[in-house]
Structure 1
């Protein structure tokens, strides 16, 4: 039976799940970050994030079990764009949840926030993620050569974006 996934706002009860995710080396390599987050720092970040109208943080869930995180960050009300990010718990990767979660986030960004553009940065070598984003309608806008230091080497990254109008055109076809 296929899971019905949904996005819901991050709550304090999600701290232990997020702490586990943010301290997973395999997950954080794709976020170009060190897997080093104390519970105290995470609590601080959650409080700051909840008070900031320029960020939206969601837990990806099947109604009960959390298995991912979705963020819409640096929402710019003047230029109407924001950065999209996602992480799926490794045990749940490869099940199509990233594509569904991306669709839900895009719908929220373009319907609720009325953004003009959603963008992201992805490792050029992360073929699976790039495939998910391209399938959702994101297009490569530029390449960042040797921009991130991951696992002892410098990695290239791609800047990708999708426009609200293109999203609606895809939904209507």
Structure 2
């Protein structure tokens, strides 16, 4: 099993939209998309290229696109951002989901040079809430009735992870160099 990452192109718009508009994914996101919004998806992808506060990748499992990874709200002054992902199918999530966390965190801390990862998860996403706790993310609070999703106010759980916490308990699934190579980056290009 191999895991690699590549930047999405405009040609990936239909695939990303097909994943993102699935109820099992869309219902867990802060914004909504619909399957008939291909041109909007293409414009969004094109606009991402000019942003300095956002990076994204397709997750490739055994060479095929299986999911999406993003780093949002990149704040280079304060050294923090938010990392999020989803898999296009339940099968891909089962096969690859348990193996990707170290890749995500290594890129965040050693390529982006962040000091902290801060994520927000809708309370309806119980599986991911449990997963974040298992991964060592620290829950720092709950924003009560923070967003409306499907006509219902939802709570949002906030988690964080500092770089030194990651380094103290980094999973030894692969080396940092292996993580970075999966993104097409040589280790000498990483942030100290």
- Do structure 1's residue 169 and structure 2's residue 168 form an aligned pair? yes
Q: CA deviation at 1:113?
A: 1.1
SS at 2:83 equivalent:
strand
Q: CA deviation at 1:172?
A: 7.7
SS at 1:14 equivalent:
helix
Aligned equivalents of 1:130, 1:18: Cα separation in 2: 23
- Do structure 1's residue 87 and structure 2's residue 70 form an aligned pair? no
TM-score by length of 1: 0.88
SS at 1:47 equivalent:
helix
Q: CA deviation at 1:152?
A: 3.6
Residue matched to 1:121: 120
Residue matched to 1:8: 6
SS at 2:114 equivalent:
coil
CA contact (8 A) 2:26 2:32 kept: yes
Q: CA deviation at 1:80?
A: 0.6
TM-score by length of 2: 0.80
Aligned equivalents of 1:20, 1:133: Cα separation in 2: 25
SS at 2:57 equivalent:
strand
Change in 2 beyond 3 A, CA 1:96/1:132: farther
Residue matched to 2:187: none
CA contact (8 A) 2:140 2:160 kept: yes
Structure 1: give runs of 5+ residues left out of the alignment: none
Aligned equivalents of 2:171, 2:93: Cα separation in 1: 27
Aligned equivalents of 1:74, 1:54: Cα separation in 2: 5
**Mapping for residues 7-156 of structure 1, pairs under 5 Å:** 7-36=5-34, 38-92=37-91, 94-95=93-94, 97-156=96-155
Count of residue correspondences: 171
CA contact (8 A) 1:85 1:120 kept: yes
Aligned equivalents of 1:165, 1:98: Cα separation in 2: 24
CA contact (8 A) 1:67 1:92 kept: no
Deviations 1:7-65 (A, max 9, x none): 22222232121110122122110013323261111111111111212211011111432
